[in-house]
Structure 1
Amino acid sequence: MKLKSLILGSVAAAGLSTAGFAADLGVLTSLDVCDSLGISGLTISSADNCLQITGEVKYEFNWGDYNGTFPGMGTATHAGTRNVMDNDSVTVNGVVYDNDWSSDVDSWLKFVGTASSDFGPASATIKIKNEHKVTVVNEGYAVPAAGGAAVYTAPAAANANVVIDEAYVSIGDTTVIMAGKKGSVANFGDDEPFNFLGLFNSDAVDKGVMFAKDLPYDGGHVIQVVSDLGNGVVVKGGLENLDSNATAAFGVGGYYDAVAGAQNAGTLVGVVEYAGDGITAHVTGMAGGILDGIVENWAVHAGVTGTFDMFKVRAAGAYSANNANDTHWNVLASAEATFDMFKIALSGEAAGGQNAGVAVATQTGIGGSIGATVTEGVSINLGGKWFDEDNNVANNESYQVAAQLVAAVSETIKITGEIGVYGTNKAAAVATAGQTDFYGAAELAWAPGGGFTSSVKGEVHQNGAYKVTFKAAKAFQ
């Protein structure tokens, strides 16, 4: 029995119990509004409103000895951390505590009520979200910050709060006006490398290129307009971060100097996008902290991807600055060629900038891969990537080389195996230069249909780290 039928059947049963509910039954079971608005999925309609319900539940469990970080992979000045899984432990009275684990349930439920208007569909959206996660490191034992004997600290209670992730209204068709709490209209796409291992700095900024983290702040309380001009051109504009979601200070511990949180309130966002004739491209501009009448920081992100028969090319860049003479730039280029059973990809990246007007380290990286379809459902990938954290300093490089096998055992089961090595010529406090860490990983993924996916993955490292990960997810719409 379909879920919609079950819901409406329950409403019918309840409605027949009283004359009042019976009179409303025809209104509740009408689907004409949803059909006329082109809305499908799980819906409930009234005489003039269609309520669409979507949601998802994801679960992830990790267990092993993986919380440490492989020495030498380092932390970039303004690109985040590129850490490789490593083991660590705490010894108390001769007993070694080294196991780590985490259990994480992410869920969300979204309601969109839509009706027709003279300006196009008018909608109200509410999305509730919850992350319920517990993380345990070294079985709960830790060394106090001030030193001394290790002590047991009970893991923090899981966050069970349900939050309103989105709450906004919108109206329009080719031009849509939106206001409330939601994500940004900024476009940060067309910037991921094509090679299968990616690039070190790209991974550190969540794939691609990016300006300094959280500069400017976006999303939150917003007023936005999106307009489709035709011929593949879309323009977007918004006033975002009107609720000043910055903390008391901005940039503490990061690349930028601290600025009072309230001064970062209000971000003006403008976007131009194009999609057509094998090309997708965008330019996103942002100016932060405008509500006090002074632009405290600004940023630009741009990307373009071209697909021409057997070839794909991509270029992307990001730049940001603030009124304290801090700047950051990040660029990336990638190309891919497909020849029958082979696929070849090459990528490069670079990043740099200034801190208070003084140049910081310029960083560069390259990566490449070659893939081959051996038989139907079986493919292999060979690749590597290299990164120099400071082009002006010797012995500051890191690398990864790996081989991957992907085999579709059936229409619903896929096995992925990978072996490789991380390495660096950087010296570490407890080791000499020229460290390496060989690793192996295997994953079994299952997608039986119905939107359900699940996987089990095991990973072991030469440095002693190991990790087992189980995932399961299901979305409905």
Structure 2
Amino acid sequence: MKLKSLILGSVAAAGLSTAGFAADLGVLTSLDVCDSLGISGLTISSADNCLQITGGVKYEFNWGDFAGNWDGGVPWIAARAGNRNVMDNNAAAGLDNDWNSKVESWLKFAGTASSDFGPASAVIKLKSVSHWVVENEALVAGKTPAGGAAVAGTGGDETFGWVIDEAYVSIGDTTTIMAGKKGSIANFGDDEPFNFLGLFNSDAVDKGVMFAKDHPKTGGHVIQIVSDLGNGVVVKGGLENLDSANSAAFAGFYNVVNNAQAAGTLVGVVEYAGDGITAHVTGLAGGILDGIVENWAVHAGVTGTFDMFKVRAAGAYSANNANDSYWNVLGSAEATFDMFKIALSGEATGGQNAGVAIATQTGVGGSIGATVTEGVTINLGGRWFDEDTGTANTEGYQVAAQLVAAVSETIKITGEVGVYGTNKPAAAQQTDFYGAAELAWAPGGGFTSSVKGEVHQNGAYKVTFKAAKEFK
């Protein structure tokens, strides 16, 4: 039952008892304005406006001894700002336990009315992130967002209470104009590998291919336009990062005297979806407000689905006017034969630093899955990565076996065993065997939860509990 129905019922009851009072209310007079605008969910309507309310809460708790980073003596795991880590026992004598607790919550209000140009909306999204981090039984200090003061126990994304995450206006239907504070229109999809373990560099850049993040920076204060041209073609254009929210850490890559010169990112996107194919090209030019393009980037991806086969190719490139550049490509294919599914993937990266070539990196991965009975699937896979193709003994790998069993319509159990390894010569530990088990519960109503345990040969262990619910 919609909230507006409850309110309307209350108003009707009030009218029966006090007609004069009900007449003075003068609100909630339309029963169908939301339906006429094509808006559903939790809504409240007036004569000409529909207010849609959505929100959600996510909780995660981790406990164990997992804060260290095992790298087996070579850089392939710990490279890229720690994104390719394998957890490790950091062996603090008598004080070795780690834990963290994180609550993410959001509320979004979208008020919409009809206009001569299509639906006109004002959107406000409030967000709160509370993150408590303990390593070696001591609060971790200084993990705060840009501009925040260092506070013990925060975890890098703490918002320090409720913040306005989005605040923008929009108007239009097949062509929509948006302005305010919101996310980017850039499309970075169609680039994840199909094999169940994925690829190492792909994991490091948040699944797929990517240039250095925030180079150029997107989102923030924006002016955007999106137009559906029909036949599956959509074009997008916009000015983003008009608030120049870049930290001093980016000044070197942007090659600017001060951060304000990095403000203004021009974004252009062409997308296609139809006939078993999805594809896009996204282009970005950063720092345009001062009349000079300090850096630029492109991201492209295409996925084709043909009966029992799927293929995917993606690439990303970025550069600046200081002769720094970075490229990243990925290809993946998947075939399904009755009870079997086979996937192969490959990736490569490289570039230049001040005009001098940096190490080229390559990786491959593959998996085979089998549905042995209804609701039970076995996956076998491996992945390999070479941090520097021009140097010996810089390779690493992971091999794993996974069992996924749907115990019921609402409960799923996943078990995995595997090993990480490197080819470093004998002196250091070269392998890390691990095992993990997860119980996931989705009883309906948008509620999901899970509990997972993981143990490693290197002494690390972790228990993770998650719960989440959204309403729309």
TM-score normalised over the length of structure 1 = 0.91
2:379 partner SS: strand
The Cα of 1:245 is off from its aligned counterpart by 1.1
Q: Could you say which residue in structure 1 is the equivalent of 2:175?
A: 175
Shift of 1:27: 3.3
Contact 1:248 1:262 in 2 (8 A): no
Aligned mate of 2:103, from 99, 102, 105: 105
1:52·1:111 contact (CA, 8 Å) conserved in 2? Answer: yes
Looking at structure 2, the residues matched to 7 and 67 of structure 1 have their Cα atoms a distance apart, in angstroms, of: 50
Once the two structures are TM-superposed, the CA of residue 134 in structure 1 deviates from its matched residue by 0.4
Cα distance in 2 for partners of 1:74, 1:8 equals: 61
Q: Quick one: which of 432, 438, 443 aligns to 2:438?
A: 443
Indicate conservation of the 8 Å contact 1:362/1:390, yes or no. Answer: yes
- Greater CA drift, 381-390 or 25-34: 25-34
| Cα distance, 1:201 vs structure 2 | 0.1
Aligned-pair CA distance for 1:425: 1.9
1:357 equivalent among 355, 358, 364: 355
Contact 1:250/1:260, CA 8 A, preserved across alignment:
no
Pick closer, same or farther for the CA change 1:20–1:393 going to 2, 3 Å. farther
What SS does the aligned partner of 1:250 have?
Answer: helix
User: How far does the alpha carbon of each residue in 1:136-168 deviate from its partner, in whole angstroms, 9 at most, with x for none?
Assistant: 10100799xxxxxxxxx9635975410101000
Residue number in structure 2 paired with 1:308: 306
SS at match of 1:291: helix
Note if contact 1:29-1:44 (Cα within 8 Å) is conserved in structure 2. Answer: no
1:22 Cα deviation after fit: 1.3
* Letter in structure 1 aligned against 2:306: F
C-alpha change, 1:80 and 1:228, in structure 2 (3 Å) is farther
CA shift for structure 1 position 133:
1.1
Q: Are 2:466 and 1:464 equivalent residues in the alignment?
A: no
Structure 2 unaligned spans of 5+ = 142-150
Task: Give the match for residue 88 of structure 1.
Answer: 90
Gaps of 5+ in 1: 144-152
- Aligned residue for 2:206? 206
- In 2, the alpha carbon distance for the partners of 1:156 and 1:239 equals 32
Distance 1:13 1:90, change over 3 A: farther
Quote the residue 1:146 is aligned against: none
- Equivalent position amino acid for 2:458 in 1: N
AA at the equivalent of 1:424: T
Q: How far does residue 261 in structure 1 lie from its aligned partner after superposition?
A: 1.4
Distance 2:225 2:378 in 1: 45
- Residue of structure 1 aligned with 2:469, choices 446, 453, 474: 474
Distance in 2 (CA, whole Å) between partners of 1:68 and 1:256 is 32
Report the TM-score, using the length of structure 2 for normalisation: 0.92
Looking at structure 2, the residues matched to 27 and 247 of structure 1 have their Cα atoms a distance apart, in angstroms, of 47
Distance across 1 between alignment mates of 2:140 and 2:113? 56
Aligned partner of residue 211 in structure 1, secondary structure: coil
Q: Compared with structure 1, are the counterparts of its residues 37 and 364 closer, same or farther at alpha carbon in structure 2 (3 Å cutoff)?
A: same
Conserved? CA contact 2:78–2:85, under 8 Å: no
Give the AA of the match of 2:87: M
Query: 1:159-188: per-residue Cα shift (whole Å, max 9, x none)?
Result: 541010100000001000000000000000
Instruction: Give 3-state SS (helix, strand or coil) of 1:28's partner.
Output: coil
CA distance in 2, matches of 1:187, 1:120: 24
Match of 1:419, as an amino acid?
A: V
Q: Give the Cα–Cα distance (whole angstroms) in 2 for the partners of residues 301 and 87 of structure 1.
A: 38
* Offset at residue 473 of structure 1 (A): 0.6
State the Cα distance separating 1:259 from its structure 2 match: 5.8
Distance 1:11 1:292 in 2: 56
Q: For residues 13 and 242 of structure 1, do their structure 2 counterparts lie closer, same or farther at Cα, with a shift above 3 Å needed?
A: farther
Q: In structure 2, the residue corresponding to 1:179 is in which secondary structure?
A: strand
Counterpart residue number, 1:453: 448
2-structure distance, mates of 1:377, 1:193? 23
Shift of 1:260: 2.7
Q: Matches of residues 219-258 of structure 1 in structure 2 within 5 Å?
A: 219-250=219-250
Partner residue of 1:190?
190
The 3 A distance-change label for structure 1 pair 198 and 423 is same
Answering whether residue 293 of structure 2 is matched by residue 298 of structure 1, we say: no
CA distance in 1: counterparts of 2:15 and 2:356, whole angstroms: 73
Change (3 A) 1:296 1:371: same
SS in 2 for 1:202: helix
Aligned to 2:67: 67
Deviation at 1:71, TM superposition (A): 2.2
Aligned length: 459
Shift of 1:432: 2.1
**Post-superposition shift, 1:28?**
1.2
Residue 33 of structure 1 corresponds to 33
Shift of 1:424: 1.1
1:5 deviates by 4.0
AA of the residue aligned to 2:196:
F
In structure 1, distance between residues paired with 2:429 and 2:256 = 37
What CA distance in whole angstroms lies between the structure 2 residues aligned with 1:191 and 1:17?
62
Question: How far apart, in 1, do the equivalents of 2:25 and 2:129 lie?
Answer: 37
Residue 23 of structure 1: SS of its match in structure 2?
A: helix
Aligned counterparts, 1:321-332, within 5 A: 321-332=319-330
Given that 2:2 and 2:42 are in contact with CA atoms closer than 8 Å, whether structure 1 keeps it comes out as: no
